[in-house]
Amino acid sequence: MLSQAAQIGQMNKNIPKLGITIGDLNGIGVEVVMKTFADKRILKMCTPIIYGSSKALSYHRNIYGMDNFKYDIIDSVEDANAGAVNVINCWEDPVPLRIGYPDKTLGQFAMRSLKAAAYDVVQGRIQGVITAPVNKAHLCTDSKKFVGQTEFFSEACGGRESMMFLVSDSIKVGLVTNHIPISAVSSAITKELILKKMSIMNKSLQQDFMLQRPKIAVLALNPHAGDEGLIGTEDDDIVGPAVQDAKEMGILAFGPYAADGFFGSGTYRQFDGILSMYHDQGLVPFKSLSFGHGVNVTTGLPIVRTSPDHGTAYNIAGKNIANSDSFREAVYMALDIHRNRETYKEMQENPLYKPKSQSNDAPVKTDA
């Protein structure tokens, strides 16, 4: 029988390690990170490892007067202390900061943080990553510019197809296209791409959210789903056939739905997941319903990555008024997904074990 000390050591060993990237040092990222992990109760659920700079953290801590935010400086994840906030210094030199003001020179430090965390999560040294907000215009390496952290982690995982999945208690919205101009959306939409994203969503709903037979709604590209070709033919020629092919693959897919009537009538409540054709089509209703409590999940990858549903918010940075709810939810979501994937893996190995499933009755289609 294990001694009490040995039991505590074993419990600490099994607590997931989560990487925390520092984000834009002039935005609200550091503030919401500190507010989240100043609550010691969350340290019983995970061992956070902040990839950034202890000097930068100390600077922010003094500005916000957060003397209750303590941390240990470590050299690698193997040295992480359970029950404490851990910091890995990704650079040593102090960085001149003007909190609340964009500064393109800070992009290199956000990237160093991302690279270090991505390496450790891909290697399996940590169980997930939660990313603080960055300024996308400043996010680049010497050879490449990234349009978002979703794309960065997809490349870190060998260029695997991923999906930006916005999740809250009331609604889950995935995107077919991410950060591209509206003028490029129509030409980017193909039946093959819709099917890839739908398959990713279906798998995520099963393994990350434990829904055995999830129902997925697919939004139309055009107003009124094209009105039988009067307002574009993409929904008849591309989106509709993709939905049909998905059904033949065993995915419970429905649509295409005209987006305005779909959300306005509350039809979205009948589905486990909603596939949007482009960024604002999905994120405008999502943030209207869940802003400040939603989580951005990069799904389709072998790693767990989440982030809050807000940006750098320069306008309130440095004022100690940023709400940390979304970042905290991103931490909880990463833990839930890690645990659910472990359960899903066991479930696949033991087919006699099945999670509870929701009813799969087909929803009623609502026209705009």
Do 214 and 316 contact (CB within 8 A), yes or no?
no
Kindly report the backbone phi and psi dihedral angles of residue 172, in degrees, each rounded to the nearest multiple of 5, phi listed first: -130, 120
Task: Identify the three-state secondary structure at position 145.
Answer: strand
> Which segment, 9-18, 258-267, 290-299, is predicted with the most confidence on average?
258-267
Tens digits of residue pLDDT in 139-148: 765 566 677 8
pLDDT at 362 over 50: no
Q: Which residues fall within 8 angstroms of residue 58, CB to CB, at 6 or more apart? A: none
CA distance 141 to 34: 27
Tens digits of residue pLDDT in 82-115: 999 999 999 998 899 999 999 999 999 999 999 9
| Preceding peptide of 256 cis, ω within 30° | yes
Domain 1-160+303-322 and domain 161-300+324-368 have a common topology: yes
Res 2: pLDDT: 36
Tens digits of residue pLDDT in 163-209: 999 999 999 999 999 989 999 999 999 999 999 999 999 999 999 99
Tens digits of residue pLDDT in 47-56: 999 999 999 9
Res 336: pLDDT: 97
pLDDT at 253 over 80: yes
Res 9: pLDDT: 42
How many residues make up the chain in this entry?
A: 368
Task: Identify the three-state secondary structure at position 23.
Answer: coil
Superfamily of chain region 1-160+303-322: Isopropylmalate Dehydrogenase (3.40.718.10)
pLDDT, mean of residues 1-7: 38
Kindly report the backbone phi and psi dihedral angles of residue 287, in degrees, each rounded to the nearest multiple of 5, phi listed first: -70, -25
CB under 8 Å, gap of 24 or more: what pairs does 112-119 form? 112/51, 113/21, 113/22, 113/23, 113/51, 113/52, 114/21, 114/51, 114/149, 114/152, 116/51, 116/88, 116/90, 117/19, 117/20, 117/21, 117/51, 118/152, 118/153, 118/156, 119/156
Q: Where are the domains of the chain?
A: 1-160+303-322, 161-300+324-368
pLDDT at 247 over 60: yes
CA distance 70 to 281: 41
CATH for 161-300+324-368 is 3.40.718.10
Q: Angle at Cα 298 formed by Cα 170 and Cα 332, nearest 5°?
A: 55
Q: Which three-class secondary structure string do you get for 92-124?
A: CCCCCCCCCCCCHHHHHHHHHHHHHHHHHHHCC
Tens digits of residue pLDDT in 10-25: 455 689 999 999 999 9
